[in-house]
Structure 1
């Protein structure tokens, strides 16, 4: 996944990466201006919405209206089209495709260690490395504008992310390949490393976030989402966010949908490792519900499935989420995977240091007779968010650096880390360019958010709260 000749020696890869500076100067990454004939952002969002559950689309627009940052989270397709017009070196890696700062989270490893890693891979595809780091950088500026940080402070935060990305890639360039693959950010190590950098409030907040993440598991989801009535164990209704299948599609139609979802869970098991299939087989499906998720994903078909092991105190809740074509697909080489769920799972396994043991994929037929791809994972598995809205500038710089380092590790697993490190170099030319790009794109995002506001006012699209 790179622009360097296959089989090149480390020295040749380093020379090739450095030579790319003449073709694409690092300062060129500061450039952003809307392309001539740029597609109306609302039109791009409407194209996505046309494939989604119609009664949930207004919820999507309602969430995107709330702020420029909420809009940004739902507008990955808009930025993908814009990024395709920006300078690129030809070096590629597996991309997250939506690497904004809230998609860097606390996650649980199979060994029950709390890690910091990328989280959302709905848009993952191989592509130019620049696109992920630019999406992260712009998200940092957009979020910190909402925090009220000044321009120079925002620039320092973006430069911290870029410098960390660049320096970590340089470190990975000198490491053995297996050592790169085994690298991970254990939150206990992060907590110790950050202890002398954060004030007492920051340290306390970090520890509370870690404790909360460890509590977010199937048992916690069971307590909050499920009601037990005698022998009946069922999802509780909370429309439109959670609608049990029995309420959504009563009668024969609901029974047919339930049969399809049972088939989805049975079929998806084939995509798991053999030992994990054996584990899954020890659970039985007892209920299903439709769930609204995220901002950008609102309206995609998403089901939560309640399974029980030996009894009602032994739950497992899986989430089966529809996987559409990546927003990067119109601008990159086609995916090698015919199943979009497999594309998501493969990208996640490639970029994450450790993954959910129940992560897999399947294709099923909907009640409308159309085939759709899904990926399946645990609903909650030690997940936590380091909330940027409560961070002071110093804490945000540390968070940005952690995100940059995490993205570097993810890219180093699939891209040419030696060529990329040589291209970026030791100086801060790229860091400063990225800060300028992020400010320009944050301005563009505000204009696009306003375009959605005006489209709702004009009645072009309908928005609902929630």
Structure 2
């Protein structure tokens, strides 16, 4: 059975004009203005987060809450499950695409393509699943509102940014629909090509991000986190709880799981990996919402001691599926049952990104599913803190266009474009919903903080990095 979970079986050729008409007809089932209605889940945010933590490493759960309670934007970043439940309780377009599932502003950034060009795109696919297209868009626009407020931009400017985000997404869909399927498949956003066309503020942010990304290599990470042991063998420098060794038995089992991973990658990648040996393995804490899921770094060294660092990250059920109750196609359910959730994440990344890591693969360890990728391979996160409002506004447009390109890979592109239309009905509805959700998210943040103060949940002393 093929290990491609999100393939679509081609039964007949799609007619774009008929699909556009189907999309317009969908407005009668769910009028576009109804996308503005926020109907929260009957479950509280704290209840959902506690339930989500049940499968996680218990001693890391207090750290997850500490990171989420740092500020309202950090809370929003970590509460994708809460939003999925709230989205499921309300109206939807019914037009499904492969969604990222967590398309907030901090989940876009720079990374290296296989040809080493730097690409701007979505860069987190832990929650990738089939769902209504506007779920991703609402997550993005709400992050614009919350992020703008966190940065203390003027209220008028934030609303304009939110509106421009939806319009840029709509324009992006138009652009993609005007391209051939192959052209939009090959399309990728290489910011270095357009640096001279940007305003000074955006160019300055881009230059800083690109500079940081160029430095994020296995060799640099290796030098920062490794030291020589008594026998001259490189060993990880522990930094509990963020980075610490696993015991010998776990290390042995993880090495066996990595062999399983190598058996599933393309033959050319397997040949490259055959030149390396595993030097060390450690558990690492990552992100905000991901804290508590199991994540391991495998340090590999080549014949001239060149390092390659792989990250094996636990792949759990997508929040769009588990908390959003979005029905998943049978072929995906079958693939997950056979090969695990790592296949869903891996295939989601390959479909949604313009170009993906050649080392991407899957494995299982200790009865859990994982996906594997390079760690910090020229990955550059755009630093939002301190960004001028005008530059922030340009950045959110780039994110919206990248999201449109990702959604355009699904066969329902024409239906989606037909539903969205050419006026501001969807824009107004999405922005109204996002403002309402920003208020709910802020209230959820304060309620979680109150629960921590009351001792109902445990939090770490600080958000250790």
Q: TM-score, normalised by structure 2?
A: 0.92
Question: Contact 2:40 / 2:87 at 8 angstroms: preserved in 1?
Answer: no
SS in 2 for 1:243: strand
Specify the alignment match of 2:176 in structure 1.
Answer: 172
The match for 2:3 is none
Cα-to-partner distance string for 1:198-221 (whole Å, 9 max, x where unaligned): 23x442232121111111010111
Given the superposition, is the C-alpha separation of residues 233 and 128 from structure 1 closer, same or farther in structure 2, using an over 3 Å criterion? same
Residue 347 of structure 1 pairs with residue 348 of structure 2: yes
Q: What corresponds to 2:251 in structure 1?
A: 258
Q: Across the two proteins, how many residue pairs are aligned to each other?
A: 444
Q: Which residue of 2 aligns with 1:234?
A: 235
Shift of 1:176: 1.0
The correspondence of residues 424-439 of structure 1 with structure 2, limited to 5 A, is 424-439=420-435
Q: Residue 135 of structure 1 aligns with which residue?
A: 139
The whole-number CA distance in structure 1 between the counterparts of 2:302 and 2:78 is 36
Matches within 5 A, 1:136-175: 136-175=140-179
What is the SS of the residue equivalent to 1:390? coil
Q: Is the 8 A contact 1:94 1:347 kept in 2?
A: yes
**Secondary structure at the residue paired with 1:137?**
helix
Please, which of 64, 87, 92 is the counterpart of residue 88 of structure 1? 92
Instruction: Show the 5 A alignment for 1:190-269.
Output: 190-194=194-198, 198-199=199-200, 201-229=201-229, 231-245=232-246, 254-269=247-262
Secondary structure in 2 aligned to 1:460? coil
Q: Is the 8 A contact 2:39 2:89 kept in 1?
A: no
For each residue in 1:44-67, what CA deviation from the matched residue of structure 2 results, as whole angstroms up to 9, or x when unmatched?
101111111111111001001111
Question: 1:262-314 CA deviation, whole Å, 9 max, x = no partner?
Answer: 111110112211100111111100111110000001011111010000133x0
Aligned alpha-carbon RMSD (Å): 1.6
Q: Which residue of 2 aligns with 1:78?
A: 82
1:103-118 map, 5 Å: 103-118=107-122
Return closer, same or farther for 1:148/1:415 CA change in 2, 3 Å cut-off. farther
Secondary structure at the counterpart of residue 235 of structure 2: strand
Displacement over 3 Å in runs of 4+? 5-8
**What is the Cα deviation at residue 6 of structure 1?**
6.0
Offset at residue 8 of structure 1 (A): 4.3
Counterpart contact for 1:170–1:418, Cα < 8 Å = no
**Structure 1: distance between partners of 2:14 and 2:345:** 30
1:250 maps to none
Report 1:351-430 matches (<5 A): 351-365=352-366, 371-430=367-426
Q: Which whole-Å CA distance do the structure 2 matches of 1:444 and 1:284 have between them? A: 49
Name 2:188's counterpart in structure 1.
184
> Residues 21-40 of structure 1: matches in 2 within 5 Å?
21-35=27-41, 38-40=42-44
Q: 8 Å contact 2:32–2:93 — kept in the other structure? A: no
- CA separation of 1:10 and 1:202: change in aligned 2, threshold 3 A: closer
Rounded Cα–Cα distance in structure 1 between residues aligned with 2:20 and 2:254: 50
Partner of residue 288, structure 1: 281
* C-alpha deviation, 1:7, in angstroms: 4.2
Contact 2:69 2:75 in 1 (8 A): yes
Counterpart among 258, 264, 268 of residue 275 in structure 1: 268
Deviation at 1:418? Answer: 1.4
Q: Matches of 1:190 and 1:425 in 2, distance apart? A: 29
Question: In structure 1, which of residues 318, 333, 358 is the aligned counterpart of residue 327 of structure 2?
Answer: 333
**Alignment partners' CA distance in 2, 1:227 and 1:141:** 44
